Amino acid sequence: MSYQTALFDLDGTLLDTIEDLKDAVNHELAEEGDPPRSLEEITRFVGNGLRNLMLHSLPDGRSEEEIDRRTASMKAYYSAHSRVKTRPYPGMAKLLRELRAAGVAVAVVSNKADSVVKDLCEGYFPGGVDAAVGEIAGLPRKPAPDTVELALRQMGRGKEGAVYIGDSEVDVATARNAGLPCLSVTWGFRPREVLEEAGAAVLLDSSEALRRAILWED
């Protein structure tokens, strides 16, 4: 026995995207003379969508209109430069292939724009996922369960036998809100103590440990 469906977060779980995100944010900040953000700052800000990332990256006191405008500009730059420095975490491409070979349906659910999520999955994991869902207008993003449930519907799968995998407190909350067990990975954008404070029950330190947890080999 094993889980029959594995739903993965993208940034910080499957892909190390932080350098490309930092470059996109700092490109937008430089366009209007705002100070750049460090890698550490960007790492702290990610996890809840690109607008939230831009909101925290801009100096305080900016209007909602400016935040929206500059988020759109940053998204456009990032869409064109999302595969410059981004790389899969060690072992993750192999893991997705092994899961699908074992009959596990694989999905990616992210708070990134839906088109970018699909492009990244096809670029780094060609043929490796059964569904890829990002931020869609009118659909609440994670930690709401809506995009997880959409991915399940697209695969023709139910919640029974499904597991959610992520690297942040948002992912722990997403799994809880969707009524799914959660496997938390420690190589991403949040330290172990943040995951523990969020209520993470299972923390995994390698792709091999994650493979065993999904396939129930321990």
Query: Torsions phi, psi of 61, nearest 5?
Result: 90, 10
Select from 155, 157, 68, 82 the least CA-distant residue to 117. Answer: 82
72 is written with which tokens?
A: 């759109």
Select from 158, 187, 197 the least CA-distant residue to 43. Answer: 187
What is the residue whose two structure tokens read 């074992």? 102
> Which residues are catalytic, by number?
9
Q: Cβ distance 134 to 158 under 8 Å?
A: no
176 is written with which tokens?
A: 């809880």
Cβ partners under 8 Å of residue 182, min gap 6 = 163, 164, 165, 166, 171, 172, 174, 175, 176, 200, 201, 202
Residue 58: how many other CB atoms lie within 10 Å: 20
CA quadruple 24, 26, 27, 32: dihedral positive or negative? positive
Q: How many residues does the chain have?
A: 218
